């Protein structure tokens, strides 16, 4: 599935992490894929309210939890960057009232 939201398709996800030598590009690529899959799910499932959106974002957060267990040290810089990306996605799909902490409530990073 292609992303139809132009704002999302043009967005450079995790740009700050790609520019930081601390994070291997391969791990950042996997994080970007998680975010793009989240966008695809939002477009496919069209969550009707914040509760439905949170189910999707928290599932994606769980994927980041697994990524951290593999080979991606999600420390302060990465935590902030990833959280900002979830906030961007929520806003891009019209959920301006989303709670930033609730979007990633299942995080363990």
A 10 A CB-CB count for 108 gives 11
Q: Name the band, by pLDDT with cuts 50, 70 and 90, for residue 68.
A: confident
The pLDDT, as a whole number, for residue 71 is: 66
The pLDDT, as a whole number, for residue 109 is: 87
Q: HSE, CB side, 13 Å, CA atoms: give it for residue 77.
A: 13
* Percent of the chain's residues with pLDDT above 90: 81
Per-residue pLDDT tens over the stretch 23-54: 889 999 999 999 999 999 999 999 999 999 99
Q: Name the band, by pLDDT with cuts 50, 70 and 90, for residue 75.
A: confident
Mean pLDDT across 58-74: 87
Alpha-carbon gap, residue 62 to 77, rounded angstroms:
19
Residues 6+ apart with CB under 8 A from 54: 98, 102, 103, 105
Given a cut of 80, is residue 69 above it in pLDDT?
A: no
Q: HSE, CB side, 13 Å, CA atoms: give it for residue 26.
A: 2
């Amino acid at each position: 599935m292609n992303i139809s939201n132009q704002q999302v398709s043009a967005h450079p996800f995790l740009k700050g992490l790609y520019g930081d030598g601390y994070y291997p590009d391969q791990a950042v690529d996997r994080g970007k894929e998680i975010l793009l899959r989240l966008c695809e799910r939002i477009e496919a499932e069209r969550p009707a309210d914040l509760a439905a959106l949170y189910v999707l974002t928290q599932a994606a957060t769980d994927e980041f939890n697994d990524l951290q267990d593999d080979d991606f040290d999600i420390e302060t810089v990465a935590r902030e960057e990833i959280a900002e990306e979830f906030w961007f996605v929520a806003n891009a799909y019209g959920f301006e009232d989303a709670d930033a902490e609730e979007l990633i409530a299942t995080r363990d990073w």
